[in-house]
């Protein structure tokens, strides 16, 4: 297949940095569509807490994979890779350009490089891990992974029970470390990626995050979380912005403390995003205030 003339313009960076706005400007300039790789924005029941693009933003450029599934559905990064590549094949049939944007590094990598091939694991292994997590807490999962796969333990998001359980089920189910399956097989891609990173000085980034959380609260985040509270055990809801409010509803936190925890945990999440994205090969980083025209000129020069 001709790989020369298909370009996937990819916008990466931490949360609240302005990726959506720049992706829309790029999509308008190249008259193309946007694939969202934000694993929290897939879910139609989660709008405010995931900062889904506004109606105006969605109208400005066609987006795919925003609020396309329910929190009650299982949707893995492997599913996303398959669906996103199929959608890109469709888009590239009539256009030489598409935009990929999001803050979920694993999901961006799955599209750009292909996802690693993991063995099938008996569902009973996952069920046991869920039971262990509920009974013994996240520390148990952390210690277990450190013991079974110290290499992956050093790279994993240690506060994310889903990632820990995913790695552990592969370790236990296959008898081999999760890290041994990484980077073995990569799928070929029929496009050339052009990767744009957005960054800001740390304090500026933290201020933007704090401000965004305040806006979410004003927009009704607490009511949204209260509606989702009965389903708090679902995978999709093990996420910053909801978890802390569930602790408030449980009587463990005051409301003010829960909101401060959301800000703190979002700042931590942003730090992890930067660490992940800074490893992206060939990415060109711009200050978040850079004029869209400057970024578009860089893309034009890269073609």
What domains lie within the chain, and their CATH numbers?
Answer: 7-115+188-302 (3.40.50.300), 123-181 (1.10.20.140)
Output the six-digit token pair for 282.
């060939």
How many Å apart are CA 171 and CA 175, to the nearest integer?
Answer: 5
In degrees, to the nearest 5, what angle opens at C-alpha 278 toward C-alphas 273 and 284? 120
Query: pLDDT tens digits, residue range 114-171?
Result: 866 777 777 788 888 998 998 899 999 999 999 999 999 988 888 888 889 999 999 9
> What is the phi/psi pair of residue 197, to 5°?
-105, 140
Query: pLDDT tens digits, residue range 197-210?
Result: 999 999 999 999 99
Query: pLDDT tens digits, residue range 231-263?
Result: 999 989 999 999 999 999 999 999 999 999 999
Which residue positions form the known binding site for ATP? 13-20
Please answer whether residues 35 and 68 qualify as being in contact, where contact means their C-beta atoms are separated by less than 8 angstroms. no
Global pTM reads 0.80
Please answer whether residues 75 and 42 qualify as being in contact, where contact means their C-beta atoms are separated by less than 8 angstroms. yes
Please answer whether residues 99 and 23 qualify as being in contact, where contact means their C-beta atoms are separated by less than 8 angstroms. yes
How many Å apart are CA 141 and CA 220, to the nearest integer?
Answer: 34
Helix (H, G, I), strand (E, B) or coil at 24: helix
How many Å apart are CA 192 and CA 218, to the nearest integer?
Answer: 41
Query: pLDDT tens digits, residue range 50-100?
Result: 999 999 999 999 999 999 999 999 888 889 999 999 999 999 999 999 999
Which residue positions form the known binding site for substrate? 15-20
Percentage of residues in the chain having pLDDT higher than 90:
78
pLDDT, residue 3, reads: 45
**Does the structure show a pLDDT above 60 at 1?**
no
Which residue positions form the known binding site? 13-20
């Amino acid at each position: 297949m001709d790989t020369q003339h298909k370009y996937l313009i990819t916008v990466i960076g931490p949360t609240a940095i302005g990726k959506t706005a720049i992706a829309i400007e790029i999509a308008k300039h190249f008259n193309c569509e946007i694939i969202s790789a934000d694993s929290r924005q897939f879910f139609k029941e989660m709008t405010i807490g995931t900062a889904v693009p506004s109606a105006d933003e969605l109208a400005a450029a066609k987006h795919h994979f925003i609020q396309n599934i329910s929190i009650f559905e299982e949707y893995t990064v492997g599913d996303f890779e398959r669906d996103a590549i199929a959608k890109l094949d469709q888009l590239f049939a009539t256009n030489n350009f598409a935009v990929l944007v999001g803050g979920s590094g694993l999901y961006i990598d799955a599209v750009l490089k292909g996802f690693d091939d993991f063995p099938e694991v008996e569902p009973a292994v996952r069920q046991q891990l869920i039971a262990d997590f509920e009974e013994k807490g996240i520390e148990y999962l952390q210690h277990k992974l450190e013991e079974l796969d110290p290499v992956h333990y050093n790279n994993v998001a240690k506060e994310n029970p889903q990632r820990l359980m995913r790695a552990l089920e592969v370790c236990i189910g296959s008898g081999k470390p999760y890290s041994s399956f990484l980077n073995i097989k990569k799928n070929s891609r029929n496009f050339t990626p052009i990767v744009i990173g957005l960054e800001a000085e740390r304090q500026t980034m933290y201020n933007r995050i704090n401000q965004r959380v305040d806006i979410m609260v004003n927009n009704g985040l607490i009511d949204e979380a209260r509606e989702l509270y009965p389903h708090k055990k679902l995978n999709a809801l093990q996420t910053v912005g909801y978890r802390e409010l569930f602790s408030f509803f449980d009587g463990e936190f005051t409301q003010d403390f829960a909101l401060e925890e959301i800000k703190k945990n979002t700042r931590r999440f942003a730090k992890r995003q930067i660490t992940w994205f800074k490893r992206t090969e060939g990415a060109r980083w711009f200050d978040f205030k850079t004029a869209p025209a400057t970024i578009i000129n860089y893309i034009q020069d890269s073609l």
